[in-house]
Structure 1
Amino acid sequence: MGLFFNFSVALFSALGSFLFGYDSGVIGSVVSKEFDLFQAFFHSPGDNITGAIVSTFAGGCFFGAAAAGSLATRVGRKRTIQIGALVAVLGCSLQTGARNVSYLIVGRMIAGLAIGCLSMVVPLYQSEISPPAMRGFLTGLTQFMISMGFLVANWVGYGCQFIRTDAQWRVPLGVQIFPAALLFLGMFVLPFSPRWLVEQGRHDEALAVVQLLHGDKKNKEFIDLEFAEMLEQIQYEKDNFSTKFSDLWSTKPMLRRTLTGIGIQVCTQFTGINVSSYFQPTLYAALGLSGSKVLMITGINGALGAVLTLVFIYFILDRVGRKPPLIFGAVGMSISLAVEAAINAKWGGVNSTNHAAQTAGVAFIVLFGSLFFTVSFGPISWVYQSEIFPMRIRATGTAVCTCANWACNVLISQVSPIGMSRLQYRFYILFVVTNIANGVVVFFFFPETKGKSLEEMDVVFGDQVIPHALETKKMHNVGAEDDEKARESDA
């Protein structure tokens, strides 16, 4: 079936990322002042309660991502996605039927466990089914589907604000049940990760999956070499290395991998993207905008972000690599937020009537999230953390990196309502500084991984132990040097 099937598998599995984006996006609409019946039902929750409603979800995500590392190793990437989807159905159902704030928070915690699990395992699964030349695109579908989730959430939120019953907020929360159920059922017909199958000793099944995903009439040699490289590297790791948690820092190359993976996720959170994602209506309100116009602008912003994400991962990411877009994005986001701070300082406020300032303020919020974040940290963070670890510790390493993402997410989403309320335009300046720091960190410490197979990452990080079939064009590399030495000795 080849490329189209590979793309279809990566895209369908990314329904888990759609859930991530939808839940993260819809909560901003639901807790906004435009959803007056939500405010009335929950007795106008203050900043602390609103922060808890938002951040409890991220707290659940932290623990879900942590648990997913072990699950993905034991039962496989495919089954872990299904477990996450099933838990999501439960959590989203509880949110939809909430009778009080505690009920709602419990539902968001359970949904968070599911989304944390899916946010870790979906890009891991995508990276392990992707050929090297297209891994950026196929794993980048994670961010595309997150963007699509935000897009759908924003427009559902825009439409539901006009409902004059409790369905105003119950319908947006309930919509996410359906993609979760579809993901659970659909994964039954999708293949297991071929690399996980090799690790389990199921080599014939793994080869069949590789042929199904990457094979066509013209690339039999590539399939044979890729599978040989996969088989030899994973078997060598299994025979010669442990799989302990401490392996994440046991050597300098492994420590560098771990710090780089954690670093990309921490940097992503400190771009400030989730302030924009979770509280976008609040940012527009600070410019003097109100009413249905706020949610309409949010929806347009989401549509633009989804389109630009797809353009970036398809046409650019696998061509220019990981580092240049990250640096470009960090610089662009710093400039956007600096201008936004200046606009809010001079012309902002809920009573602002300066139309030109409002237009400019909206424009730079859009540039920040839908352009600069979309062509940098958004998709690359998921690609990068999923491709840098060796197979024996990949699930655990990816889980640790995702946990770092959600830990920072909890912190930022909890303090943001308070920060925006008390610091106002000065809150932007914090993220101007952190984006500058992100660019510096990427420039000096992040290696380039473009075009390498997952097995060839040991070259990038300096701990290669066996030759690679895709480099040598030979299908049997393990022990080849010893055989050569023995022949020379006999001679």
Structure 2
Amino acid sequence: MISAMLASMVSILLGYDTGVMSGAVIFIKDDLKLTDTQIEILVGIINVCSLLGSAFAGRISDWIGRRYTIVFASVIFLAGAILMGLASNFAWLMVGRIIAGIGVGFALMIAPVYTAEIAPATARGFLTSFPEVFINAGVLLGYVSNIAFAGLPVNLSWRLMLGVGGIPSLLLAFGILVMPESPRWLVLQGQLGKAKRVLIKTCDSREEAELRLAEIKTAVGISKNSVDDVVTVPKHNRGEGVWKELLLRPTPSVRRVLIASVGLFFLQQASGIDAVVLYSPRIFQKAGIKKKNDLLGATVAVGISKTMFVLVATFLLDRVGRRPLLLTSVGGMILCLVGLASGLMVVDHSEKELMWAIVLCVIMTLSFVALFSMGFGPIPWVYGSEIFPVRLRAQGVSIGVAVNRVTSGVIGMTFLSLYQAITIEGTFFMFAGITGAAWVFIYMFLPETQGKSLEEMDGLFSTSTFKWKSSMKKDNDVAENQN
């Protein structure tokens, strides 16, 4: 539990940056006299650059281990935060955000992988959802930072908002060193003795630890009867040749896993969540809220809503399963996006202030982020980190995270231009359509993984989509009979 929480806390870096930037850009624009295009680039570049971090993080974590990769992510983000806090112009601010983005990419890829590999199957959903919990906590802290430093001179306020983000990364870099290494990574290195000791500490019983070790050894290509503390592992199971197996010559089950992971990570961001979080002050301004303090206050409400409701998913993931939460979450998001777009359309076409339309826009925005946090926020990180075979997991997840970050960057860097081209209500109607497609994808393509061990996933994805549905129906019938 403690190890999972510490590893997941590295995700607070992305959350803080996302939350703090939504308010900081108000002061940055005034201080550095930036255009809307420069603001779009500044806001979105961290997500595009996190592509580099996530792309390299998989291979590096196979090389130096999951734990030291988390430390590496924290150090990189710290350097970026310091540069942003000291930036004297737009160019240096961009350099700081590029470096911070690389650190974010490392953090987003490694936190769910480490947590999934160290958590017992009975609590994996609960523990692997922690990264999203800390992303939301970081968003809220960023919003609070906006309010805390808003009263300072404009040239100092935004620098402190961005610079203090380095403090948690510094603390994390030292705290993570006390955690155990991932037992599955240790097995990949042939260190069976160390892996067994970690499994005994993290599993529900010694018998389960022995069973999990035997399953991991089989998955990696080591004889289950091997009793040596250190053995030699085939190179192809230690991260070498993984890209070929993932992208060039995937088996049918690996192809399905990759499509499921990449599709889920892409659609999560294509739903428009980052547009709402990053530009919530602009959305509320378009809805009719004019005062700067009111805008920041409404934005804090977004952070509180997002943070509170992710706890719902945390406690329900291992009870009701991934699919029911996802389908409920995404279905509700569709309705909220349609409601928000409708409210903005009424405001946009009305010559006088309509309080009911303003209230509708605020309620739909808060409901949208709440429903996102209940399912579509945490579950892709849980699902994507648990479905890949152990030898492919780190680099497989890095592909999904890379797609996620690129999509987020594109949304962040085009939202202002998009709503100026097709109106803000048209933009949110578009996001509603994309989220509708996400609901269909989840219903048709994603099998339930609740209660399955990581080593059982390959068999789950070896059958056809129609067999998945039959299997899920059969599991549901069995569960109902047991109840």
TM-score (norm 2): 0.89
Q: Contact 2:336/2:364 (CA < 8 Å) preserved in 1?
A: yes
Instruction: Give, in angstroms, the shift of residue 414 of structure 1.
Output: 1.1
Task: Give the match for residue 251 of structure 1.
Answer: 251
Q: Contact 2:277/2:302 (CA < 8 Å) preserved in 1?
A: no
Is 1:227 the counterpart of 2:228? The answer is no
Q: Distance in 1 between matches of 2:234 and 2:56?
A: 26
Instruction: Give, in angstroms, the shift of residue 93 of structure 1.
Output: 0.4
Instruction: Give, in angstroms, the shift of residue 240 of structure 1.
Output: 9.9
Superposed CA offset, 1:446-472 (max 9, x none): 121111111111121128xxxxxxxxx
SS of 2:279's equivalent in the other structure is helix
Structure 2 residue identity aligned to 1:19: L
Instruction: Give, in angstroms, the shift of residue 236 of structure 1.
Output: 4.7
Task: Give the match for residue 296 of structure 1.
Answer: 297
Task: Give the match for residue 25 of structure 2.
Answer: 31
Number of aligned residue pairs:
447
Q: Distance in 2 between matches of 1:58 and 1:349?
A: 34
SS of 2:388's equivalent in the other structure is coil
Instruction: Give, in angstroms, the shift of residue 39 of structure 1.
Output: 2.5
Instruction: Give, in angstroms, the shift of residue 165 of structure 1.
Output: 4.5
Superposed CA offset, 1:239-292 (max 9, x none): 596642121142111111111110010110111101011111111001110220
Structure 2 residue identity aligned to 1:20: L
Task: Give the match for residue 467 of structure 1.
Answer: none
TM-score (norm 1): 0.88
Task: Give the match for residue 184 of structure 1.
Answer: 173
Identity over aligned pairs, percent: 30
Is 1:60 the counterpart of 2:22? The answer is no
Q: Contact 1:286/1:350 (CA < 8 Å) preserved in 2?
A: no
* 1:47 aligned to which of 36, 47, 50: 36
Instruction: Give, in angstroms, the shift of residue 9 of structure 1.
Output: 1.0
Task: Give the match for residue 488 of structure 1.
Answer: none
Alpha carbons of structure 1 residues 233 and 281: separation in structure 2 relative to 1, 3 Å: same
What is the 5 A alignment of 1:461-480? 461-462=461-462
Instruction: Give, in angstroms, the shift of residue 421 of structure 1.
Output: 2.8
Structure 2 residue identity aligned to 1:49: Q
Q: Distance in 2 between matches of 1:86 and 1:402?
A: 20
RMSD: 1.7
Superposed CA offset, 1:464-483 (max 9, x none): xxxxxxxxxxxxxxxxxxxx
Is 1:427 the counterpart of 2:427? The answer is yes
Task: Give the match for residue 276 of structure 1.
Answer: 276
Is 1:262 the counterpart of 2:262? The answer is yes
Q: Contact 1:57/1:112 (CA < 8 Å) preserved in 2?
A: yes
Alpha carbons of structure 1 residues 240 and 156: separation in structure 2 relative to 1, 3 Å: closer
Q: Distance in 1 between matches of 2:235 and 2:10?
A: 35
Instruction: Give, in angstroms, the shift of residue 348 of structure 1.
Output: 3.8
SS of 2:268's equivalent in the other structure is helix
Q: Contact 2:45/2:97 (CA < 8 Å) preserved in 1?
A: yes
Unaligned runs of at least 5 residues, structure 1 = 1-6, 464-491
Is 1:122 the counterpart of 2:108? The answer is no
Task: Give the match for residue 337 of structure 1.
Answer: 337
Structure 2 residue identity aligned to 1:27: M
Instruction: Give, in angstroms, the shift of residue 214 of structure 1.
Output: 2.5
Q: Distance in 2 between matches of 1:339 and 1:112?
A: 33
Unaligned runs of at least 5 residues, structure 2 = 224-232, 464-483
Instruction: Give, in angstroms, the shift of residue 340 of structure 1.
Output: 1.0
Task: Give the match for residue 376 of structure 2.
Answer: 377
Q: Distance in 2 between matches of 1:443 and 1:361?
A: 29
Is 1:155 the counterpart of 2:144? The answer is yes
Q: Distance in 1 between matches of 2:358 and 2:38?
A: 29
Q: Structure 1 stretches (4+) deviating beyond 4 angstroms? A: 236-243, 349-352
* 1:203 aligned to which of 186, 192, 197: 192
Task: Give the match for residue 477 of structure 1.
Answer: none
Superposed CA offset, 1:133-187 (max 9, x none): 1111101001000000001111111222122252211111011111111111111
Q: Distance in 1 between matches of 2:144 and 2:297?
A: 7
Instruction: Give, in angstroms, the shift of residue 46 of structure 1.
Output: 1.5
Alpha carbons of structure 1 residues 352 and 88: separation in structure 2 relative to 1, 3 Å: farther
Q: Contact 2:339/2:360 (CA < 8 Å) preserved in 1?
A: no
* 2:125 aligned to which of 115, 122, 136: 136
Alpha carbons of structure 1 residues 355 and 393: separation in structure 2 relative to 1, 3 Å: same
Instruction: Give, in angstroms, the shift of residue 351 of structure 1.
Output: 7.9
Q: Distance in 1 between matches of 2:446 and 2:187?
A: 29
